[in-house]
Amino acid sequence: MPELPEVETVANGVNERVRGARIDAVTIGPHKEPLKSTPSHIEETLTGAKIEHVRRVGKTIVMDVKQRNKKPAQATIHLGMTGRLLVSQRDVPVPPHTHVNIHLHDGRDLRFVDPRRFGRVGIVDEGTTYEGPGKEPLTISADDFAALFKNRKIAIKAALLNQSLLHGVGNIYADESLFRAGIRPTRPAGKIKRAELDKLHASLQAVLKHAIKLGGSSVSDYVDADGVRGFFQLEHRVYSRTGEPCLDCGKPIEKIVVGGRSTHFCKHCQK
């Protein structure tokens, strides 16, 4: 479901609500796919721990926890396509597809819900800090950004989606940043001139920051920790606008497949 702005919105919302809370117990569902660590490892790491902080790294939510007389530890939550992280009073019925339910001492639950089971919950190896697979899109410099694409033959859109290069960019923000930079998604990444990459770097950061301000994009049922929808979908210029007029030139937005994902662009405005 979510890309960087949506994950940031969820992580910040959950952080405000559960920071400092103590975990009494953890209930784990029957499905194995949503777990990156064994149920017992997750339970042992979290039970009795205090939640120090909840934050975002790439598209992953990182929960820093601390048990008395033990080293700090981290749980990671990746929302996949349809994952949600909900804070609810314990008497609120547990939704279907709840795979991990973290019971807080104050009577609330922190619930990981994911119908499609593409999401993952795990525990970071002891003694290591989760840093994610790639570079952080919001803070990467223009020089480092340009270096990512050097000599790469893959389409620039596919490169933007490659989480081991940049982590956090997904299908919506790849399309939107390429449109704003005037770059066609199919162009080989290594053949894009530095000036254009600088433009892409700027438009990607601008689009992500603007989307975070608006609480992310709500396509279908995405909501943040308070159940509030984001509003960036109203600002989409190409994503999911197939056949509609380009907001710059009026020609219809086209839809193709790049890197295995639907890709929206304006043939006239993106060279």
Partner DNA sequence: CGCGGGCCCTGTGAGC
Partner DNA sequence: TGCTCACAGGGCCCGC
Binding site for DNA: what residues are annotated?
97, 116, 152
| Contact residue for DNA among 30, 40, 91, 96 (CB under 7 A) | 96
Which one of the listed residues 59, 108, 184, 199 is annotated catalytic?
Answer: 59
Cα(17)–Cα(117) distance, integer angstroms: 25
Q: Which stretch binds DNA (CB under 7 A): 40-48, 64-72, 214-222, 246-254?
A: 214-222
Which one of the listed residues 19, 50, 255, 261 is annotated catalytic?
Answer: 261
Closest of 26, 8, 21 to residue 123, by C-alpha = 26
Asked if residue 128 binds DNA (CB under 7 A), the reply is no
In the residue annotation, 2 being an active-site residue is answered as: yes
Q: How far is the CB of 163 from DNA (least distance, A)?
A: 5
Nearer to DNA, 142 or 256 (CB): 256
For 125, other C-beta atoms within 10 Å of its C-beta total: 11
Asked if residue 39 binds DNA (CB under 7 A), the reply is no
Compute CA distances 34 → 77, 119, 170, 178, 202, whole Å.
10, 6, 20, 32, 35
**Total of chain residues touching DNA, rule CB under 7 A:** 38
**Cβ(216)–Cβ(224) under 8 Å?**
yes
Q: Which stretch binds DNA (CB under 7 A): 121-129, 193-201, 205-213, 256-264?
A: 256-264
Burial of residue 129, with CB atoms counted within 10 A of its CB: 0-12 exposed, 13-18 middle, 19 or more buried: exposed
Rounded to the nearest 10 degrees, the angle between the axes of helix 194-213 and helix 4-18 is: 40
As annotated, the active-site residues are: 2-3, 59, 261
List interacting residues with DNA (CB under 7 A): 1-3, 6, 33, 58-59, 78, 80-82, 96-97, 115-118, 152-155, 158, 161, 163, 170-172, 216-222, 259-262
